[in-house]
């Protein structure tokens, strides 16, 4: 017998996802941790859709002000980084630093905890921003850029609940360990939301291609983090999101 989830519970979980994924001033709320975050992880792609639409609006305004497609795209990417507080970019940099700079599992995890960014992480951030900005600017048309931004920020976050559930945590403490595994149905809900947005923005062919590539990328990243540190951490989840975001933008730039 299943228990219905009340609208109030859904709105609470959505606010939890919003508080965690963004730095928007949600008065009276603090970013959730523990099981609350795992249960609310279905909302990650919903929050991502809002971030993508906001970035698309900035691109459209910049384009209408006769700024070049590259500058408009750069402003759109900067907007997403400002709204999220570089949450996922920080995870990407720390993961690349740890995997590239450490020799043992313990050294890699220690480097990932360090708030300082090394050469590997810096290069990863530079390439990430260049890939995203270049892919968006290559579309030229504002409507296509908005579609790509909506798809990438939704789809990049839609794969996180499944990754959180399937890949064990590498530490006994930290964000990923505190959050735990999302409930059984949560990854499916997030995946359906993500696929629906991909279908709307990229069409059936683009959605299927992107979904297959995301599944392959997530699988490879799972194998990599298991080999490097024995599981996933909050930083790894950030790297997964950034990889998905970049991958979708590259597909969109070729498909749209």
pLDDT average, residue stretch 171-199: 91
**Lowest-pLDDT range of 27-36, 85-94, 104-113:** 27-36
pLDDT (tens digit, 9 = 90+) per residue, 200-245?
A: 999 999 999 999 999 999 999 999 999 999 999 999 999 999 999 9
pLDDT average, residue stretch 94-103: 96
Can you give the pLDDT at residue 5?
66
In whole angstroms, give the CA distance from residue 170 to residue 177.
Answer: 8
User: Is a pLDDT exceeding 90 seen at residue 22?
Assistant: yes
Backbone angles phi, psi at 103, to 5 degrees: -100, -35
Q: Does this model's pTM top 0.75?
A: yes
Write out the DSSP string of 169-233.
BSSSSSHHHHH-PPPTTHHHHHHHHHHHHHHHHHHHHHHHHHHHHHHHHHHHHHHHHHHHHSSB-
CB 218 within 8 A of CB 163: yes
Tokens of residue 60, six digits: 């459209």
Can you give the pLDDT at residue 149?
98
Q: Identify the sign of the CA torsion 132, 137, 139, 145.
A: positive
Can you give the pLDDT at residue 3?
45
Tokens of residue 31, six digits: 């970013």
User: Is a pLDDT exceeding 50 seen at residue 129?
Assistant: yes
Mean pLDDT over the full length of the chain: 93
pLDDT (tens digit, 9 = 90+) per residue, 82-95?
A: 999 999 999 999 99
């Amino acid at each position: 017998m299943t228990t219905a989830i009340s609208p109030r519970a859904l709105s609470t979980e959505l606010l939890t996802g919003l508080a965690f994924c963004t730095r928007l001033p949600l008065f009276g709320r603090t970013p959730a941790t523990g099981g609350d975050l795992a249960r609310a992880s279905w909302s990650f792609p919903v929050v991502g859709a809002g971030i993508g639409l906001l970035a698309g609006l900035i691109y459209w305004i910049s384009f209408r002000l006769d700024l070049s497609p590259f500058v408009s795209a750069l402003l759109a990417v900067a907007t997403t980084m400002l709204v999220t507080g570089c949450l996922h970019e920080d995870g990407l940099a720390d993961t690349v630093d740890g995997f590239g700079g450490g020799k043992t599992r313990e050294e890699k995890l220690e480097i990932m905890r360090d708030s300082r960014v090394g050469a590997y992480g810096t290069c990863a951030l530079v390439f990430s921003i260049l890939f995203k900005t270049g892919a968006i600017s290559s579309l030229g048309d504002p409507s296509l850029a908005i579609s790509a931004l909506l798809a990438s920020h939704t789809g990049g976050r839609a794969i996180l609940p499944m990754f959180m559930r399937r890949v064990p945590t590498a530490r006994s403490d930290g964000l990923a360990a505190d959050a735990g595994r999302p409930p059984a149905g949560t990854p499916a809900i997030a995946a359906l939301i993500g696929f629906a947005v991909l279908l709307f923005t990229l069409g059936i062919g683009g959605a299927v291609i992107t979904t297959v590539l995301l599944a392959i990328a997530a699988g490879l990243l799972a194998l990599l983090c298991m080999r490097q540190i024995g599981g996933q951490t909050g930083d790894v989840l950030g790297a997964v999101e950034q990889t998905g975001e970049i991958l979708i933008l590259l597909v969109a730039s070729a498909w749209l």
